[in-house]
Amino acid sequence: MRTDLARPELGLTPAQQRRRSAARRRAKRLIAHAFVYIVMTLLAFIFLLPIFWMVSTSLKLPQEIFAWPPDWIPANPQWGNYEEAFTKYPLARYMFNSAILVVANIVGGLVSVPVIAYGFARFDFPFKHVLFLLMLSTMMVPGHIKLIPLFWLYQRLGLIDTCWPLILPAFFGNPFFIFLMTQYMRTIPRELDDAARIDGAGSWGILIRILIPLCRPALTVVVVFTFVWVWNDFLEPIIFLRDYDSFPISVGLAFFQGRYSVEWNLFMGATLVSILPILIVYFFAQRHLIGGLASIGIKG
């Protein structure tokens, strides 16, 4: 049978039919992708509405904030609201305090978490699994329950009204990060450790030269999550700190809320500036962060 002749019932050759079916599949994929992009764009717009409202409010006069219908683009933007917010309260000092806490906690996490995870992932010692489960069980205890005994402990040590209560816990390891790092290290072949030992490397050499470079995705998760959590932490600083000059930015923003009213325009301007570091960190670490979480989820 000749395949180059047209079929009587269709009037098309097999080659033409294949081209037409391929065109239909491409059209269906294009429609499906367009639908997905439209839905995602609408959802992104909905989620960005609060940000738009913050930007708009930060550029308005107090009497324009709750006007109806709302004016999303102020006719006369008040750019001086940002300057007034930073001159009325020492927000630059508060952001500097937050930066110090963030750097100290990141250093503490990068020092403690890999070392503890290395012990759980590579060494065998008595009650290893019991200690690991005990560490994981601490994640089930609400943090608010630990505030009173921690306050009593730090008060006895004379550390209240200092930054040490907000820094020291990072050097003892976060259970969540230790769990992620342990699971990630367990996926790295032990043959690499044996090869390094044959070349004369010790336990610390294996950790520093072999495992830590291979654990960069997990370390990225530790750095980004620590940055966000410490930068946004409000409860612990307001409990352990008393000096106004030592407050982080999360506590400093609360000063815009008075007893009877809130300076919404100044508050929104200060809030937008305070979240810029988080947005910058997420912008540069987004690919590594998503890849790190995915790799931990798959390998762990």
Whole-angstrom Cα distance, residue 88 to residue 95? 15
What are the residue ranges spanned by the domains of the chain?
14-58, 81-299
Calculate mean pLDDT across residues 139-162: 89
What pLDDT is recorded for position 283? 81
Calculate mean pLDDT across residues 257-261: 70
H helical segments located in 12-90: 14-58, 80-88
What pLDDT is recorded for position 295? 58
**Residue 2: pLDDT band with limits 50, 70, 90:** very low
What pLDDT is recorded for position 245? 87
Amino acid at 106: I
What pLDDT is recorded for position 265? 84
**Residue 8: pLDDT band with limits 50, 70, 90:** very low
**Residue 12: pLDDT band with limits 50, 70, 90:** low
Decide: 218 and 137 in contact? Cβ < 8 Å: no
What pLDDT is recorded for position 293? 59
Nearest to 242 by CA among 167, 163, 169, 170: 163
Whole-angstrom Cα distance, residue 13 to residue 56? 62
What pLDDT is recorded for position 226? 93
Whole-angstrom Cα distance, residue 222 to residue 240? 24
Percent of the chain with pLDDT over 70: 91
List, for residues 186-217, the tens digit of each pLDDT value: 888 888 888 888 888 888 998 998 899 988 88
Name which of 17-21, 201-205, 237-241 the model is least confident about. Answer: 17-21
Q: Provide CATH code, domain 81-299.
A: 1.10.3720.10
Whole-angstrom Cα distance, residue 171 to residue 126? 24
List, for residues 114-149, the tens digit of each pLDDT value: 999 999 998 888 998 999 999 989 888 888 888 899
Whole-angstrom Cα distance, residue 180 to residue 100? 25
Name which of 21-25, 99-103, 104-108, 178-182 the model is least confident about. Answer: 21-25
Give the single-character DSSP code of 127: T
| Phi, psi torsion values for 201, nearest 5 degrees | -80, 145
Is the model's pLDDT at 11 over the cut of 80?
no
Predicted TM-score (pTM) of this structure: 0.80
- Residues with Cβ within 8 Å of residue 50, at least 6 apart in sequence: none
Chain-centre distance for alpha carbon 235: 18
List, for residues 53-98, the tens digit of each pLDDT value: 888 888 888 887 777 877 778 878 888 888 888 888 888 899 999 9
Average pLDDT, the chain: 85
Nearest to 256 by CA among 246, 244, 242, 270: 270
Decide: 180 and 218 in contact? Cβ < 8 Å: yes
Location of structure tokens 């352990």:
240
